[in-house]
Each structure stands twice: as structure tokens, then as C-alpha cells.
With several copies, the nearest count.
Chain A
Amino acid sequence: MARILVQDAAFDLAAETASLSAGRIDVGAVASFLGICRGDDGLTALVLEHYPGMTERAIGRIADEAERRWPLTGCTVIHRTGRILPGEPIVLVLTASAHRAAALEACAFLIDWLKTKAPFWKREEFAGGSHRWVEAKGEDDLAASRWTGAA
């Protein structure tokens, strides 16, 4: 059962990682992906909007799919919302398994699918007061599609 959090607050990477193997001796691998806000082109903040209710449901389904495809001993997805500054974390994906391939592949799968199948929208704010909504990238659809058919 995946641990899924959608929250404005920051998260504790070390505590989240430790909790996936605490008190057990069957976990041989923990893979993680940490997404961080970049400050390209004078970006001063990202504002992340989401669809409360659907977001948790969508992430839950993505995590279920990961657990169906790989023998995971644990899985954590934390996605922040609200205003995030350059250098601050946006998203954390953690996957644990007995063996490394399952953890690494499931982690890459989760972040690829999160990018294309979870209802979040990013607005970029720039120095000078301008802002724009981030447009979806074709390369994200491509990354997500590589998990279809294969598995």
C-alpha cells in the first residue's frame, strides 16, 4: 500500500527513506527521485495547482500499477502544491524492493506517469511580475508511453 501525500509543506527526505526499511531485513534497495524547482530565465516561483480528491486518486492508481508491475516492499509519493521557490523540492518518489532493478524501474515509471497522469498544473512567475502556465511537453508523453506494452 503506497504512502501518498499532497501537501503545501516541505517533506523530510531522510525520514521518508528510513521508514521504508525501518525494522525490516527484506529491503535491499531504495530508489528515489527528487524533483526540484529550477530558476531558469529569471523564474522567481512556481505555483502548483491541483484537483483535490482526484489528485490522490490518480496517484493511488499510478502507485497501484507500479506495485502490480514490480515486487515492491514499499512506495512513497509526496507532491507539493502551492508556491515553491527555486531550489526547493517539488516532488519525491521513493520505491523499495528486495532487488535494485525493481526499485529503479518502478521509480522511473512513477515519475514518468505522475508527469502525464496526475492533475497538477504549474504556473511560472518571473522577475518583473510576468507569469505563464507551463505547457505540457511531448517528451513527457513519450517518456510515459515507453511503459505501455513493455512491462
Chain B
Amino acid sequence: MRVLYFAWLRQKVGIAEEDVAPPAEVRDVAGLIRWLAARSAAHANAFADPRQVRAAVNQDFATPEHPVAANDEVAFFPPVTGG
């Protein structure tokens, strides 16, 4: 599973992307966030306020309940501010 970080999430985690292999019990976006937050202090800091975090699975916006699977591309980022 490829995980991407954007904007201040990228800065807090300290990397733009990583390949991860979460265990089978990580089934959705919310579960992935909990699992990633336990990987390092930097991850924990980035995910400290989940209300400020948005996600996309395979380049579509996804809710916390959205399933994630081994070959997915999952991205985390703050609410968008383009335009």
C-alpha cells in the first residue's frame, strides 16, 4: 500500500510518501490512520487532530469508513484551499 502526504501533513510526517504493509485488521481509512499514527512520533503528531485530516483512496476523496486494501494508493492531507 502506497501512502502519500500533502501540505502540513507531509511536513509533519517528514516524508512525501511511503510504502507500508499494515496488518489484515487495518480495513478502512480510520484504521489506517490509527495504525500509521503509531509508527513514529512524527506520524503521531501529523494525525494528532483527525478532524483536520482528509483522505483520498485511489485519487478519490474517501470517508473514514472507506475500505483500504493492499494495492491502494491512500493520501492524507488538510482540507483543500485551491482556487
Contacts and interface: CB of A to CB of B under 8 A. Distances in A.
B83 A121 contact: no
B80 A136 contact: yes
Interface string B1-42: 000101110000000000000000000000000000000000
Interface in A90-113: 90-91, 100, 111
A50 B4 CA distance: 12
A116 interface: yes
Given A115-B82, A116-B80, A135-B81, A121 B7 contact: yes
24 contacts: A49-B6, A51-B59, A51-B75, A51-B77, A53-B59, A90-B83, A100-B83, A114-B83, A115-B80, A116-B80, A119-B56, A119-B82, A120-B83, A121-B6, A121-B77, A121-B78, A121-B82, A133-B7, A133-B78, A134-B81, A135-B79, A135-B81, A136-B78, A136-B81
A133 B61 CA distance: 20
Contacts of B81: 115, 120-122, 133-137
Nearest to B83: A115
A123 B83 CA distance: 13
Contacts of B61: 117
Contacts of B78: 121, 133, 135-136
**Best-buried of A50, A58, A121 by chain B (most CB within 10 Å):** A121
Interface string A110-150: 01001111111111000000000111110010000000000
Interface residues of A, number: 30
A51 B82 contact: no
A91 B82 CA distance: 9
Interface of A: 35, 48-51, 53-54, 57-58, 79, 90-91, 100, 111, 114-123, 133-137, 140
A53 B73 CA distance: 11
Contacts of B60: 54, 57
A47 to B, nearest CB: 10
